[in-house]
Every structure is written in C-alpha cells, then in structure tokens.
Amino acid sequence: MKTRYVVLIGVGAALVLAVSAVAGPLVRDGRYGVVYQVPATQDSLHNVFANVGDRFSVVVRDDNAAGDDWWLKRKPEYAMAELVHDEYVAQNAADLTGTGRRFYTFLAKAPGVSDIVLVNGDTVTATVHLTIT
C-alpha cells in the first residue's frame, strides 16, 4: 500500500515537471505580447502599431561584452502606454558574456501617437514611433 502511494507521488511530481517544462515558455512568451525587434544602429527609426489593451515589447540586442548599455530615455505618455517591465534576457542559460536582448514591455492604454527613445551608452539612439488605435 505504501509503495503504491510513493509511486503515485513520484508520477505526480514527474507530471508537474513535464507540464511546467512545456508550459513555461508559453507563459513567458505571453508576458511580452507582440515583440518588435528594433535595429541597434545609429539613429534608427522603427514604427510600432498597437491597439488599446495590447501588450507589446520593444526589443534591442544587448551585448555587454561589446559595450552595449541600453536605457530608456523617453517613454510614451503614461495615459497612453504604461511600461510594464524592463528586462534583460540572456541568449542562453550558460551565457556568461552578457549577450542577449533587452525587453521594454508596455501596455497600450489609450489611442494616440508618441515616441519611445532608447539610447545605447551616449552614442546610439533608436527611436520607436508608436501609434495606438
């Protein structure tokens, strides 16, 4: 009888691990909404279109080994879009060099037009022209 419970607990634990391994990336992808990769070049301009209620992310390549240091210089008006989170995501789990991507995730709150300005150090500026309908 005790052996049966131990086996059931073991099977249950294995099932939980298997489900979390499969569902984990799905939940993580939903966290960022629609992802817009912004070119990390001098004075780049990128257009982003969203609807009220959408979650979207502006993403730049962030390579610390190459000297990248991205920061958000200008956010859209808070009444229009809220910054939900700012997160660095490594290229892989064993990444020790700092190569990955920087995610700026927003929630579209009201229709309007605004710019999001990202700066890498003091040299590279990427502007995102945001339109929310």
Total-model pTM: 0.73
Number of structural domains the chain divides into: 2
CB 91 within 8 A of CB 107: no
For residues 49 and 89, membership in a common domain is answered with yes
Query: What average pLDDT does the structure give for the chain?
Result: 79
- For 81-129, the pLDDT digits (tens) are 999 999 988 877 666 667 789 999 999 999 999 999 999 987 788 999 9
Q: How far apart are the first and last CA of the chain?
A: 62
**Residues 1 and 60 both lie in one domain:** no
Instruction: Give the contacts of 86 (CB within 8 A, at least 6 positions apart).
Output: 72, 102, 103, 104, 105
57 and 22 share a domain?
no
Q: Are residues 40 and 23 in the same domain?
A: no
Task: Name the residue range of residue 75's domain.
Answer: 34-132
Tell me: do 116 and 81 sit in the same domain: yes
User: In this structure, are 95 and 44 located in the same domain?
Assistant: yes
For residue 65, is it left (φ>0), alpha (ψ between -120 and 50) or beta?
Answer: alpha
One domain for residues 49 and 104 = yes
Whether residues 25 and 84 share a domain: the answer is no
CATH number for position 51: 2.60.40.2020
